[in-house]
Amino acid sequence: MTIHHAPEAFGYDSFLAAHQHKEVLRFIACGSVDDGKSTLIGRLLHDTKQIFDDQITALQRDSRKHGTQGAEIDLALLVDGLQAEREQGITIDVAYRFFSTDKRSFIVADTPGHEQYTRNMATGASTADVAVILVDARAGLTRQTRRHALLVSLLGIRRVALAVNKMDLVGWSQDKFDSITQAFDAFAAPLGFAEVRAIPLSAKNGDNVVLPGAVVPWYRGTPLLQYLEEVPVRVEEQAAPFRMPVQWVNRPNSDFRGFSGLVASGRIAPGDAIVVEPSSRTSTIARIVTADGDLPEAREGQSVTLVLSDEIDASRGSVIAAADAPMRVTDRLDARLFWAAERELLPGASLLAKIGTVTVNAVVTEIRTRIDLETGSPEPAARLVANDIADVSLTLDRPVAVDAYRDNRDTGGFILIDRETTDTAALGLVQPEVEAKAKDEPAEARAAKSGGGFLSKFRWVFGGI
């Protein structure tokens, strides 16, 4: 792993060849308030030479004023950019940071640990491929750790690095590390992660962050950065069926009519059969147009303009989908909400729902259950307050095309907008249809059927994931 690019060793052609084919990995860093998230990100930036001299100078000045590391420079101040954060020594809002190695580019969302900023954490998690969950080796798993693992799982992140931080403060005790790892594995078993990778490290000293720690002979795994360089990205999105919400109809003249959008998942080629939802009219792809010329294929992550073989009706809000994997078209949604607004949500509330590129009126017909983030169990709720997570039923004023969130984050995720304040009041996750049918049955009955107890309640909560 070479990170520093010495000017004398710089060969542009080889550099370009390597960089042009680099992928990007988006990850979030989360954990309890003092577990050292910002310090860890500061360390990643610092050790991959992304921090400039003038920023170090500013950092030294700011560390004297706001730092929490005594005389040493406080790397956390690199990421806590807002004045209120520096003054309070906490992260309030999600911060995006960028660094790259020879293998990958990284976009990091540094997310707040405080409960009142859950919506900001959910924002960071919604587009992340991987979550780095920090644990303070001295404290072990806390309520916050469990909450964040749950949130990460709810938002569909399948791969987790459990960064057991401050190992230097427990003398790099393998017993301590093993007991934390085992406790996390037991807790996370029902959460549906594809992989949990536990790494002992010290963000403050840099051991096992970018470079292996010489002080940990018993740990034979990779440092955190190497894990992030090697973990698979966007596997599910590439394998999912073709979906493209139409953003904009491009009609420069009477000879051209194309549907512009970002491919949410899958791939498509000219000649492929498609269906336009929610009208369910079918056609085939005639051309895939870009400013660089027509493409032989479009895939997840590309912004393209599709020309269809037939003059069928499609407009902003329509979704073009693979004909052999049609979407669900419905005006009733069962959804899991992350309620973000300060005002309470009561049944009967009317909001705007923005789903992909369509905005419709939505009425909350029922608040079914709220999820207790400490125990993971569903409980009855008459109203929701800020940062509650709950399952609700919505009625829309017209049918829309959706997928279950667990199958497709982009066509299964939506936001609710408060008409009065125009603020984003909630993040919503479309639940699968099967669960919707079973909803008349009380939650307790279902939990009892699958064996009862704490874990079965989890399984019920995560039945949708």
Partner 1 sequence: MSAASPTLAATRSGRLTHLQRLEAESIHIMRETVAETENPVMLYSIGKDSSVLLHLALKAFAPGRLPFPLMHIDTTWKFKEMIAFRDARAKELGLDLIVHTNQDGLDRGVGPISHGSEVHTDVMKTQGLRQALDTHKFDAAFGGARRDEEASRAKERIVSLRTAQHRWDPKRQRAEPWHIYNMKKKRGESLRVFPLSNWTELDVWLYIEQEGIPIVPLYFAAERPVVERDGQLIMVDDERLPLAPGETPQMRKVRFRTLGCYPLTGAVESPAVTLPEIIGETLAARTSERQGRVIDKDGSGAMERKKQEGYF
Site for partner 1 in 173-232 (CB under 8 A): none
Contact between 254 and partner 1 (CB under 8 A)?
no
Contact between 454 and partner 1 (CB under 8 A)?
no
- For residues 379 and 375, what is the distance between their CA atoms, to the nearest angstrom? 10
Residues between 338 and 397 that touch partner 1 (CB under 8 A): 340, 352, 354, 356-357
The region of 85-93, 142-150, 167-175, 430-438 touching partner 1 under the rule CB under 8 A is 85-93
Contact between 170 and partner 1 (CB under 8 A)?
no
Least distance in angstroms from the C-beta of 36 to partner 1: 19
Least distance in angstroms from the C-beta of 301 to partner 1: 5
Which residues make Cβ contacts (< 8 Å) with residue 283, sequence separation at least 6? 273, 274, 276, 308, 309, 310, 312
Contact between 325 and partner 1 (CB under 8 A)?
no
The region of 51-59, 133-141, 179-187, 205-213 touching partner 1 under the rule CB under 8 A is 51-59
The region of 98-106, 141-149, 221-229, 446-454 touching partner 1 under the rule CB under 8 A is 98-106
- For residues 199 and 161, what is the distance between their CA atoms, to the nearest angstrom? 7
User: Which tokens is 28 given?
Assistant: 């979030």
- Binding partner 1 (rule: CB under 8 A), the pick from 64, 138, 143, 251 is 251
Contact between 286 and partner 1 (CB under 8 A)?
no
The region of 1-9, 143-151, 191-199, 451-459 touching partner 1 under the rule CB under 8 A is 1-9
- Binding partner 1 (rule: CB under 8 A), the pick from 290, 350, 375, 450 is 290
Contact between 409 and partner 1 (CB under 8 A)?
yes
Contact between 316 and partner 1 (CB under 8 A)?
yes
- Binding partner 1 (rule: CB under 8 A), the pick from 37, 43, 46, 97 is 97
Instruction: Give the 3-state secondary structure of residue 230.
Output: helix
Smaller CB separation from partner 1, 100 or 282: 100
Smaller CB separation from partner 1, 274 or 298: 298
Query: Contact at 8 Å (CB) between 288 and 304?
Result: yes
Contact between 60 and partner 1 (CB under 8 A)?
no
Distance in angstroms between the alpha carbons of the first and the last residue of the chain: 36
Contact between 81 and partner 1 (CB under 8 A)?
yes
What is the per-residue binding string for partner 1 in 110-149, x denoting contact by CB under 8 A? ---------xx-xx--xx----------------------
Q: Which residue has the tokens 């125990």?
A: 375
Contact between 250 and partner 1 (CB under 8 A)?
yes
Annotate 279-339 with DSSP letters as a single string. TTEEEEEEEEE-TT---S-EETT-EEEEEESS-----TT-EEEETTSPPEEEEEEEEEEEE
Contact between 15 and partner 1 (CB under 8 A)?
yes
- For residues 10 and 402, what is the distance between their CA atoms, to the nearest angstrom? 49
Q: Which residue has the tokens 């497709």?
A: 408
Sheet with 273-277, strands from edge to edge, namely 243-245, 319-322, 273-277, 281-289, 303-308, 256-262, 248-253
Q: What residues form DSSP beta bridges with 14?
A: none
Smaller CB separation from partner 1, 6 or 214: 6
Query: Contact at 8 Å (CB) between 319 and 277?
Result: yes
At 131, phi and psi to the nearest 5?
-115, 135
Query: Contact at 8 Å (CB) between 400 and 355?
Result: yes
The region of 99-107, 199-207, 319-327, 450-458 touching partner 1 under the rule CB under 8 A is 99-107
Which of 273, 264, 282 has the alpha carbon at shortest distance from 357?
264
Smaller CB separation from partner 1, 110 or 207: 110
Rg (CA), the chain: 24
Least distance in angstroms from the C-beta of 259 to partner 1: 11
The region of 11-19, 135-143, 169-177, 271-279 touching partner 1 under the rule CB under 8 A is 11-19
What is the per-residue binding string for partner 1 in 258-277, x denoting contact by CB under 8 A? --xxx-x-------------
Contact between 43 and partner 1 (CB under 8 A)?
no
Smaller CB separation from partner 1, 54 or 175: 54
Annotate 83-121 with DSSP letters as a single string. HHHHHHTS--S-EEEEEE-SSEEEEEEE---SGGGHHHH
